[in-house]
Amino acid sequence: KQEVTQIPAALSVPEGENLVLNCSFTDSAIYNLQWFRQDPGKGLTSLLLIQSSQREQTSGRLNASLDKSSGRSTLYIAASQPGDSATYLCAATSGSRLTFGEGTQLTVNP
């Protein structure tokens, strides 16, 4: 059974800092790895999807990497802004489902 873990559970940084969120998964037989953003009381917004054959994906200030052999993914956020404050979730796709971590709650202070 796939298990996904995210570290840290919470992170508070000053505006402008670069930061890294970590995600690990136990079963490397995944189709892809997705990163989502969730604002309080809201649904999920897809940020990046990395296929199992890829090593990284970039979108604007976001860069996600994937190392299937070690069961790890990272989300790098450059030049953080207060509007980046949210919970970030990673999810591994196996078969028909996403298996999510518990998320990292990010606060970017002005």
Q: Which residue ranges make up the site for another protein (CB under 8 A)?
A: 4, 31-32, 34, 36, 41-46, 49, 51, 89, 91, 93, 95-103
| Cβ 30 to another protein shortest distance, Å | 10
Question: Judged by CB, which is closer to another protein: 3, or 15?
Answer: 3
Question: Judged by CB, which is closer to another protein: 9, or 78?
Answer: 9
| Cβ 53 to another protein shortest distance, Å | 10
Question: Judged by CB, which is closer to another protein: 16, or 97?
Answer: 97
Give buried/exposed letters for 34-71 (b at 16+ CB in 10 A, else e): bbbbeeeeeeeeebbbbeeeeeebeeeebbbbbebeeb
3-state class of 73 per DSSP?
strand
Question: Judged by CB, which is closer to another protein: 33, or 77?
Answer: 33
Residue 46 CA, chain-centre distance (Å), reads: 10
- C-alpha dist (Å) from residue 55 to 7, 11, 27, 64, 98: 20, 25, 17, 8, 19
| Cβ 14 to another protein shortest distance, Å | 25
| Cβ 46 to another protein shortest distance, Å | 5
